[in-house]
Structure 1
Amino acid sequence: MDLSPDESLGFQVRRCHRAFDRLLNAYLGPRGLSSGFWYFLRALWQENGATQKRLSQLNNVTEPTTVTTLNAMARGGLVRRERDAADGRKLNVFLTPRAEALKGELMPVAYRINEVAGAGVSPEDLATTLRVLRRMSENLTREAAAVAAEETA
């Protein structure tokens, strides 16, 4: 059995993601930022003060990846961490004023990248694409959890 790249959902989604990432880095690089930072900024603009664990969940990355990225962001003056008042084992992550100010500068970049990606695609097809991608992500997440549960059983 063969699955050509042209017919592979995973290959095509990865190819598209890499193209998004290259363009995003082209916009962010001159500002001294990376696309890795972008995803955490984006999450914190929505949930400032989230725990490191929550940020891992929101970005679908491992906790060690989150720690590494947040360390770099802290060195860059973008975030600060505070122990959770209710549970001292947890670290809450907050944006610095500099990172909060970046939202006004960077959200237009996000809109621009989405415009570029969606050029020549009907609004209906874009809505369908988003719906399909969300469903595929849910399916894959559910299957990964089932496989992990089988391995520990």
Structure 2
Amino acid sequence: MELQINGRAVQAEADPGMPLLWVLRDVLNMTGTKFGCGVAACGACTVRVDGQAVRSCVTPVSAVVGKRIATIEGLGAPGKPHPLQAAWIAEQVPQCGYCQSGMLMAAAALLEKKPKPSDADIDEAMTNICRCGTYQRVRLAIKRAAGVKT
């Protein structure tokens, strides 16, 4: 099947019921998207599908054929990080780093929908779990990327 990933057409040989996460990681060797819980609770596997944050561990690949899929690999470019990635570094968000690709993708979906998010917008959109508890730094980084004064 043909998938549109990070602006490119990609061929993937996979069972239509296979979760998108495993197509990305095991079939296409795109390992930036992480497996966390497998039940859409933690958000480590978050990617964007047509701009919306989606938990790829429970999304069958057949559900995203013909849609725009964006993964962490397509968020920034070498030497030119996405504003969220630059803000993540400036605010020292990552500790262990495991949840960060999913957090960044959820934040990117938020900023696409609401370029100047309020605290309430951030709370509503950022349902990803960070075991290190960096939620306040995540909020600061999102606001920095959006150009919102804190």
- Please tell me whether Structure 1 or Structure 2 has the larger radius of gyration of its CA atoms: 1
Higher relative contact order (CA 8 A, sep 6+): 2
TM-score (norm 1): 0.30
- Per residue, is there more helix in 1 or in 2? 1
